[in-house]
Amino acid sequence: MSEFDKTLRERLLDMETPNATQKESLEKQVRAILEGRLSVATRLGLGLLAGIGILFVLDFVHVRGWLPSSQDMSRNVTGSFWLLGFISALAWTALTAYSAIRGRLGSRVRASLIAGLGAAMIFVYLIIRTFGIQFALLRADPERYRVNWDEQFTIAVFFLLVFAGLYLILRVVYRMESKTQEKLLEIEYRLADLAEKIEGGRKQ
């Protein structure tokens, strides 16, 4: 592109004199999109989710009583598992409520984080509910049902950990790949810039 063309392009763009009020209005709306500002309907939806979160937290407190009472591995495993679900429910409730009140999803509080916490909370909740009868049997006769229970529960936790681990590894790999690609592109851009300057120098 020659200097002449550049100038013509710029001059053409300068010919367009937009209405300042309308321009400002659009810029505000675009800024709102960029900042992840939420509409009233979305804020209400998040408020509803926070309400559901409170119900989950209360129910987690309720199902805590189902867990094995003896001080052995079953209690430690199920207790940790329950704690994971309980913390997820608390964090999920806090984040949805905070986002609803604040009216935006900032760069830190991402929709994906809310979704991830919600998924962990529901997964743990469903497992605990599914094994509700097992919990009752275990409490009634720990010696008889412990082996069976330990196996089943360990498998469930194992799958959860495998999926969570995979997800975390993939995220780290993606982030590293993205950063490496950015560095490579920066180097390539500098080289292209340098080559252009050398070429320009030769022509002069």
Partner 1 sequence: MRDKKAIYYELLVLRCRQRRQDALEELIRTWERPLFYYIRRLVDNEEDAWQVLQETWLKVFQGLARLREPEKLPVWLYSIARNVAVDNLRAKCLERTLFEPDESAQYSDSDDIHLAFDNAERIHYGLSRISLAHREVLTLFFLQDLSLEQIASVLDIPVGTVKSRLHHAKRALKAVLEQEESSHE
Residue 172 is encoded by which pair of tokens?
């780290």
Cβ of residue 27: shortest distance to partner 1, in angstroms? 8
Candidate residues 15, 40, 41, 140; the one interacting with partner 1 per rule CB under 8 A: 15
Cβ of residue 180: shortest distance to partner 1, in angstroms? 11
Alpha helical stretches, state H, the chain:
3-15, 20-34, 40-63, 73-102, 111-130, 132-140, 142-203
Q: Is 1 in the site for partner 1 (CB under 8 A)?
A: yes
Q: Is 11 in the site for partner 1 (CB under 8 A)?
A: yes
Q: Between residues 151 and 193, which has the closer beta carbon with respect to partner 1?
A: 193
Distance CA 105, CA 88 (A): 18
Distance CA 142, CA 150 (A): 11
**Full 3-state SS string of 137-172:** HHHHCHHHHHHHHHHHHHHHHHHHHHHHHHHHHHHH
Distance CA 173, CA 151 (A): 32
Q: By CB under 8 A, what part of segment 138-177 binds partner 1?
A: none
Binding pattern to partner 1, positions 106-125, x when CB under 8 A?
-x------------------
Q: Between residues 4 and 65, which has the closer beta carbon with respect to partner 1?
A: 4
Q: Between residues 9 and 129, which has the closer beta carbon with respect to partner 1?
A: 9
Binding span for partner 1 by CB under 8 A among 18-26, 44-52, 62-70, 148-156: 18-26
Distance CA 90, CA 14 (A): 54
Q: Which residues bind partner 1 (CB under 8 A)?
A: 1, 4-6, 8-9, 11-16, 18-19, 22-23, 25-26, 29-30, 33-34, 107, 178, 181-182, 185-186, 188-189, 191-193, 195-196
